[in-house]
């Protein structure tokens, strides 16, 4: 679905509820980058990243939360990033969205936890994906050298964090930001 289209989101949520009877887990993971330094970033770059990375998290969560509240349970897991905690050169828009996701996660945990819905965020570090695999080797080596674990993360590393936060084992975890970054944030 187009996570920018609130009507489409509502239709998809209604269809899921009609077919499955509810929604147990929401993972807000849509995200883009449009990197540029502060003085070179265009308004279009700013707006596009804000719309996809921040506003869409709000849109989808606002549509799904009432379904979870009505059932008295649910897990909302938001994708952030270590750069949302520490910043990164040339990513004003991206960092703002990922820091905003952390802020929304904490607010929603306060609002929804008493209603049986936990809200947490995952903040990956340097993860070896198709996107990062296209980066120059010297950049990948630099990223690896800055990571105390001595390696880049894998999609599996991140998936296991999501799996934990979605599980009953994380029933008392809410408002947390789980860094999956090989120690880079320490």
Q: Among this protein's residues, is 162 annotated catalytic?
A: no
* Candidate list 57, 78, 94, 108, residue with the active-site label: 94
The CA-atom distances, in angstroms, between 5 and each of 63, 71, 121, 136 are 11, 25, 23, 36
CA–CA distance, 149 with 132 (Å, rounded to integer): 18
The CA-atom distances, in angstroms, between 101 and each of 38, 50, 57, 137, 164 are 21, 11, 8, 31, 19
Assess contact for 117 and 65: CB atoms under 8 A.
Answer: yes
| Enzyme catalytic residues | 94
């Amino acid at each position: 679905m187009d996570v920018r289209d609130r009507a489409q989101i509502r239709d998809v949520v209604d269809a899921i509820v009609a077919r499955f009877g509810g929604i147990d887990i929401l993972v807000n993971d849509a995200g883009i980058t449009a990197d540029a330094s502060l003085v070179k970033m265009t308004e279009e770059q700013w707006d596009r990243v804000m719309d996809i990375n921040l506003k869409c998290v709000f849109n989808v969560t606002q549509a799904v939360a009432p379904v979870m509240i009505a059932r008295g349970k649910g897990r909302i897991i938001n994708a952030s990033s270590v750069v949302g905690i520490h910043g990164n050169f040339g990513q004003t828009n991206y960092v703002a969205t990922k820091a905003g996701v952390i802020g929304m996660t904490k607010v929603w945990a306060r609002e929804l936890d008493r209603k049986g819905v936990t809200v947490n965020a995952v903040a990956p570090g340097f993860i070896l994906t198709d996107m990062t695999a296209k980066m120059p080797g010297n950049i990948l080596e630099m990223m690896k050298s800055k990571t105390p674990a001595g390696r880049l993360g894998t999609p599996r590393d991140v998936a296991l964090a999501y799996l934990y936060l979605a599980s009953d084992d994380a029933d008392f975890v809410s408002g947390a930001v789980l860094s999956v970054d090989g120690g880079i944030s320490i």
